[in-house]
């Protein structure tokens, strides 16, 4: 195994970590490869103006291109020779046709993330009705109407191709005038690139789950904590975490040790650039197209007005910063008052790297890049220990009030499945605890006029029998709704940070019925063995969730892990319960914070097979379900 040095070693190239994280300047990258103007790197330079395809008929070619972000030549998976893939600009109400030709040596696919369409067009092999992927040399024709507007994206749902570059933005222009005005419109695609083969990344995580984590606590952290809280309190806290054998900095599985974070395909060394004129209103369509990275986004010196979340208009809210989970989108409007440059700064949740760009009235002007915030620590609340409750690590072991329990890490590593994402190969017939057959309407009569009411009426959490065993090493005893919590690293930082509690749909809620039933799903895992599951059952062993066309279901997630999980339901909207049932924000991806619970309503209006999963690429293998919607 490669030692964890402060250098990235590959093919006899030794790049200092700081330069690796920031990437090479584009000119240096081109010189290093000796490539001409036809290369994808030169295309990336031209992409400062953004590569946009407009209309309702598209031909997309999936292939490989050489790239060099760090001084090392690697092959990327591209669309029409571009990384990111071209921005597709559609118009609401039009019929869209996309002919996708696969020139790769392996089966591929494209999923249209957040787009409401027939199951057969959804693009998930083995899940979408009748779709088994696009074989090498073949062309698949996607056809569906654009029945919505807003900011979305597309990506491969085969293997780890999304990690190697197969992702791009979708912008759907509305038929009716928008409820806000702007003068310029930019897509800001955030992503993470690694020179490593994704299969090797996954193999390392299976052997040592914290392989990429270089932000563990040190002696200087301990001394600072003693100065701040005193020796007795520090000792008590350290004792708890040590007994549980858990890290307060278990924030991200894959970090800047291997990732170079990109903004519109540009490394931090270059940075993407967008121009403006003073006084203009600029719409920035932020998309997190990463495989594994949560970003905290701010523009020092500029307020951002959030006007859309996951493609759906929301009541405008002014913020200094927002966290964007993997697969989420946020549209913001900014209005620079001065002829100066501003930095778009997107730091990773674990503070191991960042992506950046520049808004400027003059391409010769650049703004200062801010320092990253300190590495944050997880708290008791992030482990489901609110109100002094403990976090049960073993149901057979007693626990004192507020005291964590030891975790059993002595058992050997147990691989869960082949790391390829062709779901047609998975067995769907084995047993799983399926809450969809039980009415769990503990909140059915809850008015929830305020978010705080949601926690006041909670019943004690229950864990299924399938959650006990070597495949699950954590269970939250007292998970709370934390809709007004900006999350670890953003609390009390002196900036106005967006939370889910701030999101209110611009129009009244779409389905005002009471839910017919509730499904409670627990997000589970064993971090040491790097095994992820739902209700303690991995995807390969799970029965599908079976829903009936026309019913209204409340989904309640309980996160029994220390990690954020962005949960994505294909084909149907998720109406997030934020405490105001009149204006539920409509999302396609919902982040479930560590040790918390969250609920949303799903109007089951799309027949067929649908994928339902955590959008962290290396969690998806186990934390995944198939949803079958039928008329019966």
| Secondary structure letter of residue 75 according to DSSP | E
Q: Percentages helix, strand, coil for the chain, rounded to the nearest 5?
A: 15, 35, 50
Which alpha helices (H) appear in 348-410, and where do they start and end?
none
Question: How far does CA 475 lie from the centroid of its chain?
Answer: 22
Classify strands 184-194 and 282-288 as parallel, antiparallel or unpaired: parallel
Q: What's residue 377's pLDDT? A: 82
| Per-residue model confidence as pLDDT tens digits over 309-349 | 999 999 999 999 999 999 999 999 999 999 999 999 999 99
Pick from 289, 219, 297, 215: nearest CA to 256: 215
- Please give the Cα distance from 543 to 567 (Å, whole number): 18
pLDDT-derived band at 401, boundaries 50, 70, 90? very low
pLDDT-derived band at 392, boundaries 50, 70, 90? very low
Q: What's residue 266's pLDDT? A: 97
Would the pLDDT of 482 be above 70?
Answer: yes
With both helix axes pointing from N to C terminus, report the angle between 231-244 and 219-229 in degrees, rounded to the nearest 10: 130
Classify strands 329-334 and 282-288 as parallel, antiparallel or unpaired: antiparallel
Residues in contact with 522: Cβ distance below 8 Å, sequence separation at least 6, in sequence order: 463, 464, 467, 475, 534, 535, 536, 557, 558, 559, 560
Neighbours of 279 (CB within 10 A): 11
pLDDT-derived band at 579, boundaries 50, 70, 90? confident
Among 186-200, 274-288, 321-335, 367-381, the least confident range: 367-381
Q: What's residue 18's pLDDT? A: 54
Comparison of pLDDT for 195 and 39, the residue scoring more? 195
| Per-residue model confidence as pLDDT tens digits over 411-467 | 333 333 333 344 433 333 333 344 433 333 344 433 344 556 777 767 778 899 999
Among 57-61, 300-304, 442-446, the least confident range: 442-446
Q: What's residue 252's pLDDT? A: 80
Q: DSSP per residue over 558-583, as a string?
A: EE-SSS-EEEEESSS-EEE--S-GGG
Q: What's residue 221's pLDDT? A: 56
Mean pLDDT of the chain: 83
Mean pLDDT of 397-418: 33
| Per-residue model confidence as pLDDT tens digits over 265-295 | 999 999 999 999 999 999 999 999 999 999 9
Would the pLDDT of 59 be above 80?
Answer: yes
Among 13-17, 91-95, 164-168, 597-601, the least confident range: 13-17
Comparison of pLDDT for 218 and 62, the residue scoring more? 62
Q: What are phi and psi of 502, to 5 degrees?
A: -80, -15
Would the pLDDT of 38 be above 70?
Answer: no
Q: What's residue 208's pLDDT? A: 84
| Per-residue model confidence as pLDDT tens digits over 520-567 | 999 999 988 999 999 999 999 999 999 999 999 999 999 999 899 999
Residues in contact with 88: Cβ distance below 8 Å, sequence separation at least 6, in sequence order: 53, 58, 98, 154, 168, 169, 170, 171
Q: What's residue 473's pLDDT? A: 87
Q: What's residue 438's pLDDT? A: 39
- Please give the Cα distance from 5 to 20 (Å, whole number): 13
Comparison of pLDDT for 48 and 303, the residue scoring more? 303
Q: What are phi and psi of 586, to 5 degrees?
A: -105, 120
Pick from 594, 579, 632, 588: nearest CA to 610: 588
Would the pLDDT of 23 be above 90?
Answer: no
Residue 356 preceded by cis peptide, ω within 30: no
Q: 129: helix, coil or strand?
A: coil
| Per-residue model confidence as pLDDT tens digits over 110-155 | 999 999 999 999 999 999 999 999 999 999 999 999 999 999 999 9
pLDDT-derived band at 50, boundaries 50, 70, 90? confident
Mean pLDDT of 477-504: 94
Burial of 567 (0-12, 13-18, 19+ CB in 10 A): buried
Would the pLDDT of 39 be above 50?
Answer: no
| Per-residue model confidence as pLDDT tens digits over 208-245 | 878 787 665 554 555 566 567 676 665 556 555 454 55
Neighbours of 548 (CB within 10 A): 14
Q: What's residue 210's pLDDT? A: 82
Percent of the chain exceeding pLDDT 70 equals 75
Pick from 214, 294, 293, 217: nearest CA to 259: 293
Mean pLDDT of 8-19: 42
Mean pLDDT of 387-404: 32
- Please give the Cα distance from 503 to 55 (Å, whole number): 32
* 22 membership: H or E segment, kind and range: helix 17-22
pLDDT-derived band at 256, boundaries 50, 70, 90? very high
Would the pLDDT of 587 be above 50?
Answer: yes
pLDDT-derived band at 36, boundaries 50, 70, 90? very low
* 203 membership: H or E segment, kind and range: helix 198-207
Q: What's residue 465's pLDDT? A: 93
Would the pLDDT of 605 be above 70?
Answer: yes
- Please give the Cα distance from 462 to 204 (Å, whole number): 33
Q: What's residue 417's pLDDT? A: 37
Q: For the chain, give the number of residues.
A: 632
* 144 membership: H or E segment, kind and range: strand 139-145
Among 90-99, 344-353, 503-512, 602-611, the least confident range: 503-512
Q: What are phi and psi of 353, to 5 degrees?
A: 180, 180
| Per-residue model confidence as pLDDT tens digits over 86-112 | 999 999 999 999 999 999 999 999 999
């Amino acid at each position: 195994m490669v030692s964890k040095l402060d250098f990235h070693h590959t093919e006899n190239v030794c790049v200092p970590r700081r330069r690796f994280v920031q990437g090479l300047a584009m000119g240096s990258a081109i010189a290093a490869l000796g490539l001409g103007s036809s290369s994808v790197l030169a295309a990336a330079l031209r992409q400062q103006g953004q590569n946009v395809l407009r209309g309702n008929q598209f031909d997309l070619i999936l292939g490989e291109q050489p790239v060099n972000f760090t001084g090392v030549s690697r092959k990327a998976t591209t669309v029409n020779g571009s990384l990111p893939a071209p921005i597709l600009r559609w118009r609401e109400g039009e019929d869209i046709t996309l002919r996708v030709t696969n020139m790769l040596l392996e089966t591929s696919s494209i999923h249209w993330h957040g787009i409401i369409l027939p199951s057969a067009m959804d693009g998930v092999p083995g899940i979408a009705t009748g779709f088994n992927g696009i074989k090498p040399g073949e062309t698949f024709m996607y056809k569906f109407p654009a029945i919505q507007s807003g900011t979305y994206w597309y990506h491969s749902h085969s293997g780890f191709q999304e990690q190697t570059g197969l992702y791009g933005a979708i912008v759907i222009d509305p038929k009716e005038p928008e409820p806000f005005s702007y003068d310029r419109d930019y897509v800001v695609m955030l992503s993470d690139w690694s020179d490593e083969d994704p299969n090797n990344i996954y193999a390392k995580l299976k052997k040592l789950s914290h392989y990429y984590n270089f932000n563990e606590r040190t002696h200087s952290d301990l001394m600072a904590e003693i100065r701040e809280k005193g020796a007795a309190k520090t000792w008590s806290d350290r004792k708890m975490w040590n007994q549980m054998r858990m890290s307060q900095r278990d924030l991200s599985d894959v970090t800047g040790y291997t990732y170079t974070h990109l903004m519109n395909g540009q490394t931090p060394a270059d940075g993407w650039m967008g121009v403006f004129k003073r006084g203009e209103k600029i719409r920035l369509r932020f998309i997190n197209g990463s495989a594994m990275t949560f970003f905290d986004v701010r523009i020092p010196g500029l307020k951002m007005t959030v006007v859309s979340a996951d493609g759906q208009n929301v009541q405008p809210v002014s913020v200094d910063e927002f966290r964007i989970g993997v697969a989420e989108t946020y549209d913001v409007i900014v209005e620079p008052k001065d002829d100066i440059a501003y930095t778009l700064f997107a730091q990773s949740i674990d503070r191991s790297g960042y992506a950046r760009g520049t808004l400027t009235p003059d391409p010769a002007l650049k703004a200062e890049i801010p320092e990253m915030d300190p590495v944050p620590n997880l708290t008791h609340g992030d482990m489901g220990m609110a109100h002094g409750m403990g976090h049960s690590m073993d149901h057979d072991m007693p626990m004192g009030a507020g005291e964590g329990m030891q975790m059993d890490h002595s058992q050997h590593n147990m691989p869960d499945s082949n790391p390829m994402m062709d779901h047609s190969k998975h067995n769907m017939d084995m047993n799983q605890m399926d809450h969809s057959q039980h009415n769990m309407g503990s909140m059915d009569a809850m008015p929830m006029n305020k978010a705080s009411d949601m926690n006041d009426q909670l019943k004690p959490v229950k864990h299924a029998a399938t959650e006990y065993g070597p495949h699950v090493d954590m269970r939250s005893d007292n998970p709370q709704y934390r809709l007004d919590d900006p999350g670890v690293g953003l609390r009390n930082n002196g900036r106005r940070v967006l939370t889910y509690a701030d999101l209110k749909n611009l129009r009244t809620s779409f389905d005002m019925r009471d839910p017919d039933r509730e499904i409670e799903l627990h997000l589970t895992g064993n971090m040491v063995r790097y095994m992820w599951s739902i209700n303690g059952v991995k995807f390969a062993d799970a029965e599908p969730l079976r829903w009936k066309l026309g019913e209204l279901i409340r989904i309640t997630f309980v996160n029994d892990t220390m990690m954020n999980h962005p949960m994505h339901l294909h084909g149907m909207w998720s109406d997030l319960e934020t405490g105001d049932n009149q204006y539920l924000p409509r999302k396609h991806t919902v982040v479930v914070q560590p040790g918390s619970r969250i609920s949303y309503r799903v109007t089951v209006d799309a027949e067929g097979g649908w994928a339902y999963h955590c959008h962290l690429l290396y969690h998806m293998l186990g934390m995944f379900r198939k949803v079958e919607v039928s008329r019966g």
